[in-house]
Amino acid sequence: MAVINNYGCTRSNHVITCAYDKNNQMSIPRRSIAIALLSFFFVFGASMSGLATVMLVMPGTMLDSLWRFNPQARIGLATLGQFAVFLMLIVCAACMSAAIGLWRCRAWGLWIAVVLLSTNLVGDVLNAAIHHDFRTLIGVPIAAVMLGYLWHKRRVFSPGYLCSCGSSPTK
């Protein structure tokens, strides 16, 4: 049996079967608000890393005034040179991939999100330990809660539980 669309329909021996609820309506589980919010969180991350990329590629523009919100980031990224642009593009693509994958309730989106959140959590702990920047520790419980929630909801991302995501059926 193979899932052939986002509504839980399967095909076996050329027979298509769909899941129905007690009212004989097609059963379409809904994406939780929290998963939608996590998806938007990653869209925000993609936007900010994309903006940082633009500001690194085009210094001296009126966008440079945005560095005042995090002047240490500008200094740190400047020391990396052109590698910083590449790094920010990777972060942007990874965040957008996580956002799309979470929105579509796909397992690959879950794992990209877990890797990004875990990397951020480890980075926050290392910044506090190595650079004595204890402000970064605020991200530890936030990332831990997000990771805990994703772990708790991991079945939503399995092929047997497809959420309604508004996309057209796949073949």
Q: How far apart are CA 146 and CA 34, in angstroms?
A: 9
At residue 10, φ and ψ (nearest 5 deg) are: -125, 160
Higher pLDDT, 9 or 133: 133
The three-state secondary structure class of 56 is helix
Q: How far apart are CA 159 and CA 85, in angstroms?
A: 36
Going by the DSSP 8-state scheme, the letter that residue 159 receives in this structure is T
Q: Which structure tokens are listed for 41?
A: 């969180």
DSSP-assigned beta bridge partners for residue 3? 10
pLDDT in the model for residue 32: 85
pTM over cut 0.85 = no
**107-159 pLDDT tens trace:** 999 999 999 999 999 999 999 999 888 888 999 999 999 999 999 988 888 77
pLDDT in the model for residue 43: 97
Q: What is the dihedral of CA 158, 7, 112, 151, to 10 degrees?
A: -40
DSSP 7-55: TS-EEETTEEE--B-TTS-B--PBPPHHHHHHHHHHHHHHHHHHHHHHH
* pLDDT (mean) for 28-35: 75
Q: How far apart are CA 45 and CA 54, in angstroms?
A: 14
pLDDT band at 23 (very low <50, low <70, confident <90, very high): low
pLDDT band at 91 (very low <50, low <70, confident <90, very high): very high
pLDDT in the model for residue 68: 83
The three-state secondary structure class of 148 is helix
DSSP-assigned beta bridge partners for residue 17? 10
